[in-house]
Structure 1
Amino acid sequence: MSGLHRAAWPALGAAILFGASTPFAKQLIGAGFATASPFLLAGLLYLGSGLGLTLVRLVRDKGWQSPGMPRQEWPWLLGAIAFGGVLGPLLLMVGLAHTTAATASLFLNLESVLTAVLAWMVFRENTDRRIVLGMALIVAGGAVLAWPTGETSVTGIGPLALAGACLAWAIDNNLTRKVSASDALFIAGSKGLVAGSVNTALGLALGAAWPTASLLSSAMLIGFFGYGLSLVLFVLALRGLGTARTGAYFSTAPFVGAAISIAVFGEPTSSIFWAATALMVLGVWLHLTEHHSHEHEHVELNHEHGHRHDEHHQHEHEFKWDGQEPHTHPHQHVKLTHRHMHFPDVHHRHAH
């Protein structure tokens, strides 16, 4: 198989949208309305995500439809919302208030590292030396960025808050993988509505002033693209790549944010910034060029998700099928042994 894995494209799309949102969110902090209340800005970003995706889902389904999520998956989704939708954005806003947007963008690469570490050590997802080396280079880049230099833009609470946001999102990513076969619009929209409501309410309760209409619409628009559509694409990528590798592809996001911060907003850079960039670029390149292939066995499995009739989906239908793909219905996988390039997606979560 040549080129990028098909599921890498939504992962890269998610990275571009989220990476671009960081410098624009930084500009909103600079506008003043969220400086004293990171809760409020985080809440509005997620409200824009939740409301926008809910509207898209209503249009797609021509009204409200049950998400059909299995009962055992709800705790995973609620946990993902708590860590990724409430705690993560709050810590990000605190970090942005104490660092430059370009530096913060690169520092957020630690999310992919922590995501992979949790996936390997807690959720037992497979890995190899190439991915580990790439993660080590990204960690080295983050360490360079956080190295004390006496500049207030990169020392103190900022890096700690950003590291906390990365850990919260790493937990979120691993929990979301548990529900990634369900409706991506529902997953992302639910996170936006719950997280947005909680953070906005906290911000207002702590005395934050309601922003002007222009700032309100800007925050919600940034949230819709950078948090909402980005998360939908991320969930789709989780299905095909697994948690650690989706995080690896997603680690290109900070470079998008850093490039916009420098090219569009004219933020200054330093030798430390470029040294960290070089380390992180090399680490990401190792991830993007990984190939994983060996003989493996599929066990019998019954589940439901959007799919095409590829080599893993050769089944009959108990209903009249119109031939359209992808389509969704409960289906059974029979026991199968074969060899091909693959990643730990919803069909390849086997031991090595």
Structure 2
Amino acid sequence: MRGRLKSGLSWPGAPMALVSAALFGASTPLAKLLLGQGVDAWLLAGLLYLGSGVGLGAALLFRSALGVPASEAPLRRSDLPWLALVVLSGGVVGPLLLMVGLLTTPASSAALLLNVEGLATMGIAWIVFHENVDRRLLAGAAAILAGAMLLSWRGGGAGVGPGALAIVGACIAWGIDNNLTRKLSSADPTQIAAIKGLVAGAVNLALALANGASLPAAGALGGAGLVGFMGYGVSLVLFVLALRHLGTARTGAYFSTAPFIGTALALLLFHEPVTARLAIAAILMGVGLYLHLAESHDHEHAHDALEHEHRHVHDSHHQHDHGPDDPAGEPHTHWHRHAPMVHRHPHYPDLHHRHGHAAER
């Protein structure tokens, strides 16, 4: 089959990634505010993820109680090893390092340093998973890195501060998490985020309490739960959905807007000065982000035969027959087969476009 499709390249992945970024970006200065109320850093990491897991778990139970059928593919046994690695890297190591870094790093600088997550996500996607990359994307990544390094450098021979290093370490852990989550992106994102939040939150909370931390007052406890539900839970659901449409590296690029949102909120909450270094770093990161968002990728490509399960409509990539037990109506979820085809249209390395490029250019 040959043909040329004309469709919006970034829809609906880009809006999902941008809203995900906004929610997560806002969570950073709000977490800094909770740390300022005396909440233990390790304990807060656990509370944020527990807020995510409990909130999303309640949503799943509510949906089940109402008898609303699930429209997404469930997690399968083969997904569990990937899910365990996602929980460890993104749910335990990442938030712990971030909370440690926030103790000694200004909230606005910490928010912009989170751009390193996008860089780590893109680098791993390109180097390990061989997603397509060109000079424009590499230039954008270099600009983002330059801005992050400018923020983390203390000057006066002090080098990179330990707080900044901890935040960079959190970003690398989340970069690993984001790439591993790509392996799960065809499954129910609410189920993924709920399990990740409950397990990671319980582990971090237990370790913090064993280390001598104590639970905060009810107000701080509720605040942490709400920030975690929106900034970690709902944000992750939208991020997984964006992965389906954009691939890992591109979703990471859109998600790089999170630090700018966090920085703006931090300036309002903490009345921090807008320094020249902060402004230059923001410009560098903005240029890098623009180079990624302005990408256009369009060429003839081949689809090999593929069988999998995910939520879909019968577009040009889903022209398959239905059995008597398959669901009616669209969108729907069932195991289906893709026949081999060749066509041309704008695309990202989503669920159906993870092909090589060396022989096609």
Q: Classify the TM-score, shorter chain.
A: over 0.9
Distance 1:140 1:340 in 2: 34
Task: Confirm whether residue 39 of structure 1 aligns to residue 35 of structure 2.
Answer: no
Q: Secondary structure at the match of 1:328?
A: strand
Q: Distance in 2 between matches of 1:59 and 1:150?
A: 56
Distance in 1 separating the partners of 2:167 and 2:157: 17
Query: 120, 124, 135: which one pairs with 2:141?
Result: 135
Unaligned runs of 5+ in 1: none
1:272 equivalent to 2:303? Answer no
TM-score by length of 1: 0.94
Q: Which moved more, 1:258-267 or 1:61-70?
A: 61-70
1:71 aligns to what? 77
Cα offsets for 1:207-256 (capped at 9, x unmatched) = 01111111100000000000000000000011111110000000000000
SS of 1:296's partner is: strand
Question: Which 10-residue stretch deviates more, 140-149 or 212-221?
Answer: 140-149
Q: Could you tell me which residue of structure 1 aligns to residue 29 of structure 2?
A: 23
Q: Secondary structure at the match of 1:332?
A: strand
On the 8 A contact 2:73/2:311 being kept in 1, the answer is no
* Secondary structure of residue in 2 paired with 1:348: coil
Match of 1:330 in 2: 335
**Aligned partners of 1:115 and 1:244 also within 8 Å:** yes
In the other structure, the counterpart of 2:169 is 164
Q: Indicate the RMSD between aligned Cα atoms, in angstroms.
A: 2.0
The whole-number CA distance in structure 1 between the counterparts of 2:163 and 2:133 is: 31
Matches of 2:281 and 2:327, distance apart in 1? 52
Decide which of 204, 213, 218 is 2:223's aligned counterpart. 218
Which residue does the alignment assign to 2:210? 205
State the aligned residue count.
Answer: 348
- Aligned partners of 2:42 and 2:100 also within 8 Å: no
Q: Which moved more, 1:274-283 or 1:312-321?
A: 312-321
- For residue 337 of structure 2, give the secondary structure of its aligned residue in structure 1: strand
Q: Which residue of 2 aligns with 1:175?
A: 180
Indicate whether 1:123 and 2:126 are aligned: no
**CA-CA distance at 1:320 after TM superposition:** 6.7
Amino acid at match of 1:50: G
Question: 1:51 is matched with which residue?
Answer: 54
Q: Which amino acid aligns with 1:16?
A: A
CA-CA distance at 1:5 after TM superposition = 3.1
| Cα shift readout 1:80-115 (whole Å, capped 9, x = no counterpart) | 100000000000001111111110000010111111
Amino acid at match of 1:189: A
- CA deviation map 1:130-153 (0-9, x unaligned): 11111110000011111223599x
Q: Where does residue 103 of structure 2 map in the other structure?
A: 97
CA distance in 2, matches of 1:323, 1:128: 41
Trace 1:231-242 onto structure 2 (pairs within 5 A).
231-242=236-247
Number of the residue aligned with 1:192: 197
Q: Tell me the equivalent position of 2:3.
A: none
Aligned partner of 1:234: which letter?
A: F
The 3-state SS of whatever aligns with 2:343 is strand
Aligned position for 1:112: 118
Amino acid at match of 2:49: Y
Pick closer, same or farther for the CA change 1:74–1:322 going to 2, 3 Å. closer
What is the Cα deviation at residue 75 of structure 1?
0.9
| CA distance in 1: counterparts of 2:62 and 2:350, whole angstroms | 29
The gaps in structure 2 that reach 5 residues or longer are: 1-6
1:85 maps onto 2:88 in alignment: no
SS in 2 for 1:178: helix
Q: Distance in 1 between matches of 2:278 and 2:157?
A: 12
Classify the secondary structure of the residue corresponding to 2:270.
Answer: coil
**Counterparts of 1:108 and 1:186, CA distance in 2:** 26
Question: Which residues in structure 2 correspond to 1:138-153 (within 5 Å)?
Answer: 138-149=144-155
Q: Distance in 1 between matches of 2:218 and 2:355?
A: 51
Q: Is the CA contact 2:9–2:348 (under 8 Å) kept in the aligned structure 1?
A: no
**Shift, 1:120, TM fit:** 1.0
Q: Which amino acid aligns with 1:224?
A: F
Shift, 1:322, TM fit = 7.0
Matched with 1:315 is: 320
Could you tell which deviates more after superposition, 68-77 or 96-105?
68-77
- What one-letter code is carried by the residue in structure 1 that aligns with 2:192? I
1:349 is aligned to 354
Aligned-pair identity in percent equals: 55
CA–CA separation in structure 2 for the residues paired with 1:322 and 1:329:
7
Q: Secondary structure at the match of 2:336?
A: strand
Over 3 Å counting, the alpha-carbon distance change for 1:9 and 1:26 in structure 2 is same
TM-score, length-scaled by structure 2: 0.92
Alpha-carbon distance in 2 for matches of 1:335, 1:244: 25
State the 1:270 CA deviation: 1.1
Higher mean C-alpha displacement, 160-169 vs 267-276 = 267-276
